[in-house]
A and B are shown apart, each in its own frame.
Chain A
Amino acid sequence: MRHEISILIIGLLAVLTTASIVATILSARAPKPLSSTLVNLTQRINAWWVMVALMTVAFFFGRYGMTILFALISFAALREFVTLTHTRRSDHWVLLGMFGIIIPFQYWLVWTAWYGLFVIFIPVYCFLLMPAITALHGDTERFLERIAAQQWAVMISVYCVSHVPALLTLDVPGFEGRTLLLIAFLIIVVQGSDVLQYIFGKLFGKHRFSPNVSPSKTWEGLIGGLVSASLLGALLSFVTPFSPLQAAGVAFVACSMGFLGGLVASAIKRDQGVKDWGHLIEGHGGMMDRTDSLVFAAPVFFHIVRYFWTV
């Protein structure tokens, strides 16, 4: 596995270095003051250096590192989500429970590989008990809206995100002890697809995909991004249990889900009248701005691998 990890890290460093060099040249040639797109590009690339460094460190701590890292990502994402929704004073205990009980317990289930409870804890127990607690408080003002927002917040930020470290619990014959590479594959392909969609969109984007939801998403960006991300998946098949063709197919499905995740996140932001979820990551916005695609891709990727590749 060391061999594959070294190749991935060298590859990522090469891509980031190239990106930084290109951005520096573009900025040096461009008229001053720099356009906001160029400033934002540099910020984004710098943030990518930090994110890749953090991921790499977490990687070297293996299961510990991944479980803790994604629990923290869930925390940051949930905080952004709940901040945007309508909450009332009587929601206090439910909100505390979301942060203080649901996140730790869900990641404990990931840690202990208790699959049976991991898949139903949130959609069965939390989804039934959270509205019950809210009802017990006796405050019915905008009740359905409040409980729906709470459930969707937990679904997106905790349940979906926790499927990334849960990949480590899968038992793929002939792939023992290498499941960390599944996480690397998923993240590189999905985040790569975001970047490729951005590049194709900026270079060739003409036809808007859904002007009402997200003005920055174009058909050219979508098609160019999905095709090139699927190719990237095929290229990376050497770190996975998949054949190159299978890897391209899995990458295509994951990145399509990722695109839909970005679309849904944009719709929520638009509905709430904000541009970004937060300000955690310079140039990108909040944690949810960076993970919206991963959130939709992770559970589907998890279940594809589980259904077709595990015993």
Chain B
Amino acid sequence: MNKLSLKTFTLLQTVTSVGLSALARMVTGVRPIWNGSLPSERQRIYFANHTSHGDFILLSACLSERERAITHAVAAGEYWGKSRLRRFIAQDMLSSVLINRQWTRPEENPIEIMLSVLDQGHSLILFPEGTRNMTDEPLLAFRSGLYNLSTARPEVELIPCWIENMSRVLPKGQFLPVPLLCRVVFGAPVAVGPGEERRAFLERAHAALLALNPRPERDD
């Protein structure tokens, strides 16, 4: 990419991120609740529950502009890489990181791709359920990416983030959002303990995220 188009892309991404954050605030009045961690520019993986395409917009609207500029959502390549338009939206406008869950070639290895982003000093937004949750369960079981990333880069903080109400704002199959108030609860960092097993850690991280839900009885 030459210098000029790189500038254009940076500008496009800034405009998109400022615009989407403003829109998210207007529609949902979104407000961060720092419940165990504080805003910081240190390198982090924010991991959150996933019910709607709007989730990562809501989460990044809670970050400062500087944090937002270095924080990328991890999105499914099978979906967002399908057409040129989708790829343009996901990669060029939203600067997300695309990974393929059914990968074959070694350069497609999702963990390697995410690690390379971390190694640039950037932060990630990860949805460890692996897909949007359309069930009655409040939170699906976690895939192992979170564990693999954390053991490979233990210095990166893992912050659980509970996104409230987004499934009501933009339910599955709908594209017009209903304006409802949303909150994002940021919890205390979770880290892999010495010698901790993959399954034990994933269950602990799962429980830590679930515990942040401020109104568990309201989930339907």
Interface positions of A (Cβ within 8 A of B): 75, 79-80, 82-83, 86-89, 92, 95-96, 99-100, 273, 278-280
CB-based nearest A residue for B27: A79
**Is B137's CB within 8 Å of the partner chain A?**
no
Other-chain contact of B176, A83, A87, A96, A280 (Cβ < 8 Å): A96
Binds A, one of B9-17, B166-174, B198-206: B166-174
Residue interface mask B84-102, A partner, CB < 8 A = 1 = 0000000000000000000
Find chain A residues with CB under 8 A from B181 CB.
Answer: 79-80, 83, 278
**Is B178's CB within 8 Å of the partner chain A?**
yes
- The verdict on A95 contacting B178 (CB below 8 Å), with A87-B168, A88-B220 known, is yes
Find chain A residues with CB under 8 A from B178 CB.
Answer: 82, 92, 95-96, 99
Other-chain contact of B171, A80, A82, A89 (Cβ < 8 Å): A89
- Count chain A CB atoms within 10 A of each CB in B174, B176, B179, B215 and give the residue with the most: B179
Find chain A residues with CB under 8 A from B207 CB.
Answer: none
Other-chain contact of A83, B171, B172, B180, B220 (Cβ < 8 Å): B180
5 contacts between A and B (CB under 8 A): A80-B181, A82-B178, A83-B165, A92-B174, A95-B178
Give the bracket for the number of chain B residues in contact with chain A: 10 to 19
**Is B19's CB within 8 Å of the partner chain A?**
no
B-side binding surface: helix, strand, loop or mixed? loop
**For the complex, what is the distance from the CA of A92 to the CA of B181, rounded to whole Å?**
15
Count contacts between A and B, CB distance < 8 Å: 32
Whether the Cβ atoms of B29 and A278 lie closer than 8 Å is yes
Whether the Cβ atoms of A279 and B31 lie closer than 8 Å is yes
Q: Which 6 A-B pairs have the closest CB atoms?
A: A83-B181, A95-B178, A83-B180, A89-B171, A79-B179, A92-B174
Find chain A residues with CB under 8 A from B168 CB.
Answer: 87
**For the complex, what is the distance from the CA of A80 to the CA of B174, rounded to whole Å?**
21
Other-chain contact of A75, B31, B179, B220 (Cβ < 8 Å): B179
**For the complex, what is the distance from the CA of A80 to the CA of B178, rounded to whole Å?**
12
- In the assembled complex, the CB of A59 is this many whole angstroms from the nearest CB of chain B, namely 24
**For the complex, what is the distance from the CA of A279 to the CA of B174, rounded to whole Å?**
27
Interface positions of B (Cβ within 8 A of A): 29, 31, 165, 168, 171-172, 174, 176, 178-181, 215, 218, 220
- In the assembled complex, the CB of B191 is this many whole angstroms from the nearest CB of chain A, namely 31
- In the assembled complex, the CB of A77 is this many whole angstroms from the nearest CB of chain B, namely 12
Whether the Cβ atoms of A99 and B174 lie closer than 8 Å is no
**For the complex, what is the distance from the CA of A88 to the CA of B219, rounded to whole Å?**
10
Whether the Cβ atoms of B29 and A89 lie closer than 8 Å is no
Find chain B residues with CB under 8 A from A96 CB.
Answer: 176, 178
Find chain B residues with CB under 8 A from A95 CB.
Answer: 178
Given A86-B218, A96-B176, A280-B29, 18 other A-B contacts at CB below 8 A?
Answer: A79-B29, A79-B179, A79-B180, A79-B181, A82-B180, A83-B180, A83-B181, A87-B168, A88-B220, A89-B171, A92-B171, A92-B174, A92-B178, A96-B178, A99-B178, A99-B179, A100-B176, A278-B181
CB-based nearest B residue for A79: B179
Find chain B residues with CB under 8 A from A80 CB.
Answer: 181
Find chain B residues with CB under 8 A from A82 CB.
Answer: 178, 180
CB-based nearest B residue for A142: B220
